[in-house]
């Protein structure tokens, strides 16, 4: 059984809670769809280190932006990205460790295919810079173009909004399916939600268990206030990056 997770964003409390829950459920492999340590969380280094040993980790858009020019990103995002990059490269416990973390992140693949399953961060058409949102179901052409890059099943993150999107333009929220969904051979896009920055109005960390052809969404309580206090204590991180965690927005 695989635990498929995404968008940790340096939130160590959420990550630890999810990893503990996945172990209790019997998951034997961790697949991560990107944005492990960047933009907003107070523990980028501590989230990057366990990822070094996971079965599969992809490059997220913000992980990529840490080590390149953030471009026209808002000031709060630019500051957070630059701070996270400095933490990743920090000589703790040695300079070699910081170099190893950066090499690991910069070398992450943009997509991973295993049998019928494709894993990307944002979209099968453009894994880093495109994403698929629930409202895209109203755009038939866009959905057709995106699904043209899917052989059978595709797992995505980035939007932080969990749910199932089918080729015939249905979006099924986890609670509508009782948090379980069985893949039935038709092309399907599975958004696994976010571990560290949920944005669907539920502050609990979100991830997916994949067992054969069955998907189970998991929502996990974690110590949100500890994470918020950490964010508030770091001058380079805007307070809003912590405050939003309380409401999942």
pLDDT band at 211 (very low <50, low <70, confident <90, very high): very high
pLDDT bracket for residue 70 (50, 70, 90): low
Q: At what angle do helices 44-51 and 75-89 cross, to 10 degrees?
A: 60
**What's the total number of domains in the chain?**
1
Residue 138 has a CB neighbour count (10 Å cut-off) of: 10
Each as own residue / partner, the long-range contacts of residues 18-26 (CB below 8 Å, 24 or more positions apart, any chain) are 18/195, 18/205, 18/207, 18/218, 18/220, 18/222, 19/50, 21/218, 21/220, 22/207, 22/209, 22/218, 25/1, 25/209, 25/216, 25/218, 26/1
In this prediction, residue 39 carries a pLDDT of: 84
Q: What is the pLDDT of residues 161-202, one digit of tens each?
A: 999 999 888 899 999 989 999 999 999 999 999 999 999 999
Place of tokens 């500051």: 79
Q: What is the pLDDT of residue 100?
A: 85
Phi, psi torsion values for 31, nearest 5 degrees: -110, 125
pLDDT of 16 strictly over 70: yes
**Bridge partners for 108 per DSSP:** none
Cα 165 from Cα 211, distance rounded (Å): 19
Q: What is the CATH number of the domain that holds 187?
A: 3.60.21.10
Instruction: Convert the pLDDT of each residue in 29-60 to its tens digit.
Output: 999 999 999 888 999 999 999 999 999 999 99
Half-sphere exposure of 214 (CA within 13 A, CB side): 7
Domain ranges, residue 103 = 2-246
């Amino acid at each position: 059984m695989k635990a498929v997770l995404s968008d940790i964003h340096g939130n160590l409390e959420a990550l630890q809670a999810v990893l503990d829950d996945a172990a209790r459920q019997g998951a034997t492999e961790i697949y991560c769809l990107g944005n492990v340590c960047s933009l907003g969380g107070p523990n980028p280094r501590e989230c990057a280190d366990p990822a070094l040993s996971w079965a599969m980790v992809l490059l997220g858009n913000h992980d990529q932006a840490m080590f390149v020019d953030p471009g026209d990103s808002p000031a709060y995002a630019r500051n957070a990205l630059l701070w996270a990059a400095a933490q990743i490269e920090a000589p703790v416990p040695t300079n070699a460790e910081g170099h190893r973390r950066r090499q690991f992140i910069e070398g992450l693949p943009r997509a991973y295919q295993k049998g019928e399953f494709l894993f990307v961060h944002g979209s099968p058409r453009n894994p880093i810079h495109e994403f698929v949102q629930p409202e895209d179901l109203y755009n038939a052409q866009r959905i057709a173009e995106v699904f043209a890059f899917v052989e059978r099943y595709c797992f995505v993150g980035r939007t932080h909004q969990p749910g199932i999107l089918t080729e015939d333009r249905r979006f099924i929220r986890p609670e509508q399916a009782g948090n379980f969904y069985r893949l039935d051979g038709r092309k399907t896009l599975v958004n696994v939600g976010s571990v560290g920055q949920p944005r669907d109005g539920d502050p609990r960390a979100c991830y997916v268990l994949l067992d054969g052809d069955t998907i189970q969404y998991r929502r996990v309580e974690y110590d949100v206030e500890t994470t918020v206090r950490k964010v508030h204590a770091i001058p380079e991180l805007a307070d809003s990056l912590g405050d939003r965690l309380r409401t999942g927005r």
